[in-house]
Amino acid sequence: MRITLNGEPHDLAGPLSVTALLGQLQIDPRRVAVEHNRIVLKRGSFDATLVAEGDEVEIVNFVGGGDGN
């Protein structure tokens, strides 16, 4: 199945939870925020939120910055 992950197509074996997706990507869930189909998820709902075919997922973290960019 194919999803859009951070703006790029991304292939996955099948539907999975956000927690499982982060695990596959080796991303520490405590360091990121996740948006699923344009809804920002609470960290507590990573387990219960299922990512399915065609979904849009954004995973962001903090990077260095002050103003502008």
Partner 1 sequence: MDLLTIADKTFTSRLIVGTGKYSSPAVMVRAHEASGAEMITVAVRRVNITDRTKESLLDYIDTSKYFLLPNTAGCYTAEEAVRTARLGREAGLSNWVKLEVIGDERTLFPDNEQLLEATRQLVREGFVVLPYTTDDPVVCRKLEDAGAAAIMPLGAPIGSGLGIQNVNNLRIIREFARVPLIVDAGVGTASDAALAMELGADAVLMNTAIAGAQDPVAMAEAMNLAVRAGRFAFLAGRIDRRMYANASSPVAGLVGR
Which residues lie near partner 1 (CB under 8 A)?
Answer: 5-8, 10, 25-28, 31-35, 38, 40-43, 58-69
Q: Are 19 and 1 in contact (CB under 8 A)?
A: no
> What is the phi/psi pair of residue 29, to 5°?
-60, -20
CB of residue 49 to partner 1, shortest distance in Å: 13
Nearest-CA neighbor of 16 among 44, 49, 60? Answer: 49
CB of residue 47 to partner 1, shortest distance in Å: 15
Q: Rank residues 14 and 68 by Cβ distance to partner 1 and give the closer one.
A: 68
